[in-house]
Structure 1
Amino acid sequence: MDHYNRKNFTVTQSMGFMLSKSRNLVAADMDTALKDLGVTSQQMGIFLSLARGLARTPFELSKLLAIDSGLMTRMLDKLESQDLLTRNRSDEDRRVFHLELTDEGLAIAEKISDIAPQVLNRRLRRFSKTEFTELKRLLTKFIGESQDGEPT
Structure 2
Amino acid sequence: MNHYTSKNFALTRSVGFLLNKARNMIIAEMDAALRDLEITSQHMGILLSLKSGVATTPFELSKVLGIDTGLMTRMLDKLEDKKLLKRVRSVDDRRVINLEMTARGEAVTTQLPQIAPQVLNARVKNFSKDEFDELRRLLGKFIGDSE
TM-score normalised according to structure 2 size: 0.97
SS of the residue 2:55 aligns to: coil
> Are 1:9 and 2:9 matched, yes or no?
yes
Aligned residue number for residue 125 of structure 2: 125
Q: Deviations over 1:67-123 (max 9, x none)?
A: 110000001011112111011111222211111111110111111121000000000
Give me the identity figure in percent.
61
C-alpha distance in 1 between matches for 2:4 and 2:91: 51
- Secondary structure of the 2:100 match is strand
Structure 1 residue runs of 5 or longer lacking an equivalent are 148-152
1:106 aligns with 2:106: yes
The alpha carbon displacement at 1:39 in A equals: 0.7
Partner of 1:150: none
Secondary structure, counterpart of 2:98 in structure 1: strand
Question: How many angstroms apart in 1 are the aligned matches of 2:41 and 2:32?
Answer: 9
Partner Cα separation in structure 2 for residue 99 and residue 76 of structure 1: 9
4+ residue runs of structure 1 moved beyond 6 angstroms? Answer: none
Match of 2:44 in 1: 44
For normalisation by structure 1, the TM-score amounts to 0.94
Task: State the AA in 1 paired with 2:68.
Answer: D
| Equivalent runs, 1:1-152 vs 2, <5 Å | 1-147=1-147
What is the aligned length?
147
One-letter amino acid matched to 1:142: F
Deviation, structure 1 residue 27? 0.3
Q: 1: distance between equivalents of 2:6 and 2:109? A: 46
Q: 2-side partners of 1:132 and 1:121: how far apart?
A: 10
Question: Partner of 2:92: helix, strand, or coil?
Answer: coil
